[in-house]
Amino acid sequence: MIEPGVQAPEFTLPDQDGQLVSLADFRGQTVVLAFYPADFSPVCTDQLSVYQEVRGEFEDRGVKLLGISVDGAFCHRAFRSHLNLDIPLLADFHPKGEVAKAYGVWSEQYGLSARALVMVNGDGVVEWSYRSPPLEVPGANLIFDALDQRTPA
């Protein structure tokens, strides 16, 4: 898994509406990349629902949250609609898992991303990363704790 202190790999992926989103679009902002295995799976549904509940608190702290899985944009759109999510969902669909591989969270065994969180600062450097044990929802408290541990600029 990618470690804090390294430059985050750049990427450009389509979101749920087919619009291209790049990590570079968020320079100057803190971004949390929430890698998850699959839309509509029970644990992923719980995970993204939890993040949606505290989305406003992330925004109040200047954090942009992006979900990333290997599902396609159309599946992401249906998943967002089903859960009433505002969180952008990015499709690491083709080449499958390319971004997950770059961040060290790809599972070759399952052909999916592991469940992981990566915080990237405004300069594009990884500040914090966390890989969840299988079937465990990485709670929003992990992200808030990581934000609280930041060294003031």
Residue ranges per structural domain of the chain:
12-148
Answer yes or no: are the C-beta atoms of 61 and 26 closer than 8 Å. Answer: no
Answer yes or no: are the C-beta atoms of 33 and 59 closer than 8 Å. Answer: no
Alpha-carbon gap, residue 29 to 56, rounded angstroms = 16
pLDDT by residue, tens only, the chain of 153 residues? 999 999 999 999 999 999 999 999 999 999 999 999 999 998 889 999 999 999 999 999 999 999 999 999 999 999 999 999 999 999 999 999 999 999 999 999 999 999 999 999 999 999 999 999 888 888 899 999 999 998 655
pTM of the model: 0.94
CATH topology of domain 12-148: Glutaredoxin (3.40.30)
Complete DSSP assignment for 66-122: EEEESS-HHHHHHHHHHHT--S-EEE-TTTTTHHHHHTT-EETTTTEE--EEEEE-T
Burial of 70 (0-12, 13-18, 19+ CB in 10 A): buried
Active site residues: 44
